[in-house]
A = this chain, B = another copy of it.
Amino acid sequence: MARPEKRTTLREVAEATGLSTAAVSYALRGKQVSKETEERVRKAAADLGYEADPIARALASGRTSMIGVLAGDLQDLWQQHLMAAIGRELLAGDRYALILDAGGDPARELALAKQLRDQRVDGLLVSPVDPSAEGWSKIADTVPVVSIGDALSRARTAGEVLFDNRAGIDAVLDYLRGLGHRRVTVLTPTGPSTPDRPADVYVREAADRLGIEVEVLPCAQELGEATAVARRVLAAGGGGAAGGDRGAVGDGGLAGGDGSVAGGGRPNAVFCFSDSIAYGVYAAAAEASLTIGRDISVVGFDDHPVSRVLTPPLTTVDWGLTDIAKEAARLAVAAIEGRRVRRKRILCAPRLSERGSALRVPE
């Protein structure tokens, strides 16, 4: 193993054909050479098994054919799915996705973005944890950036595939209100270091407007952690929610009732800002012998495929993942190639998939 067996180089092809390296370089890229020599060169290259060295090419040209893809938090199953889709999309266009995970940490996110730029990625696709961070500006000035989800408010991006979070949140709160809910617990992936995510801010506004009382609690995406948070929320019972003091762990007790919410009051409604978090609620509910869609209402966000396999299927907000991946890739590639595009800002409309995890509050 590890016998690097010298690759054939451009020079060797040049010698074999009696041309200069420049001519060969052009020929192989089909530029300013006669059809005739192009053929000849191509054949020689094939015979010698020549393939351009991407690194040398990158150093000389400044381009790598790699696109950095920075996920805010890959613990989120939906983001995993999105990254996979983006990777496929880019690969179809002969580009590589260099996928990195910020793990929900805004500082790390910016650091990784810089590292990607240093790796000379041709472009950067980012699903930001902290879209309003100052640092994006400098990065977006150095490399074409396409943001997915929220807009990078401080940066001049090359494109945006935005989710209409306001409309999505409105739709969900409206829906819950229509079912009779007046108190809703919101579980958001936002960490303590990023208190002002657009969705978090907006959900309070919307709730106020609709006369709904919300309690917004932070929650990790990873199933175990999400379950732990959900456990506390459910244990708090009734229409309210767990204490806002995130340090406190609650009493660890579960809702005592079997088939009815502890306290016997109005059913709890939990609005999760990602389906992954909602799965934690399903897990915690099962532990507490609460039936989702009867004893408690749950609504997700983003619509991961498995959400429809749960019992009951999870009511959630769908943005159309496939199109998102396609559009994001398209925008990035267009920017890289210096092409002008009609719309650099795509706004995805929410589709509320009503599936049975939320119940009507009995009179």
Residues of A within 8 A of B (CB): 1-5, 51, 53-56, 58-59, 62, 64, 66, 74-75, 77, 80-81, 83-84, 87-88, 91, 96-101, 103, 118-120, 140-144, 156, 158, 223, 279, 282-283, 286, 305-306, 308-311
Q: Which residue of B lies closest to A119 (CB)?
A: B54
Q: Is the Cβ of B91 less than 8 Å from the Cβ of A84? A: no
How many Å lie between the Cα of A263 and that of B308 in the bound state? 28
Q: Is the Cβ of B100 less than 8 Å from the Cβ of A141? A: no
Q: Which residue of B lies closest to A281 (CB)?
A: B309
> Closest 3 CB pairs between A and B?
A311-B311, A74-B84, A80-B80
Contacts of A3 in B (CB 8 A): 141-142
- Kindly name the residue among A4, A81, A84, A120 whose own CB sees the greatest number of chain B CB atoms within 10 A: A84
Contacts of A75 in B (CB 8 A): 84
How many Å lie between the Cα of A190 and that of B244 in the bound state? 49
Contacts of A58 in B (CB 8 A): 55
How many Å lie between the Cα of A75 and that of B91 in the bound state? 15
Told that A2-B142, A74-B87, A75-B84 touch, could you supply 8 new A-B pairs with CB distance under 8 A?
A: A5-B142, A55-B64, A59-B59, A80-B80, A80-B84, A84-B101, A279-B306, A310-B310
How many Å lie between the Cα of A283 and that of B311 in the bound state? 10
Contacts of A96 in B (CB 8 A): 98, 100, 119
Q: Which residue of B lies closest to A96 (CB)?
A: B98
Q: Which residue of B lies closest to A305 (CB)?
A: B223
Q: Is the Cβ of B97 less than 8 Å from the Cβ of A51? A: no
How many Å lie between the Cα of A5 and that of B310 in the bound state? 51
How many Å lie between the Cα of A274 and that of B88 in the bound state? 21
Contacts of A305 in B (CB 8 A): 223, 279
Contacts of A77 in B (CB 8 A): 77, 80-81, 306
Q: A77-B77, A118-B53, A305-B223 are in contact. Are A87 and B100 (CB under 8 A)?
A: yes
Contacts of A66 in B (CB 8 A): 98
Contacts of A311 in B (CB 8 A): 286, 310-311
How many Å lie between the Cα of A96 and that of B286 in the bound state? 39
Which of B99, B103, B141 is the one whose CB lies under 8 Å from A99? B99
Q: Is the Cβ of A99 less than 8 Å from the Cβ of B87? A: yes
Which of B101, B118, B144, B282 is the one whose CB lies under 8 Å from A54? B118
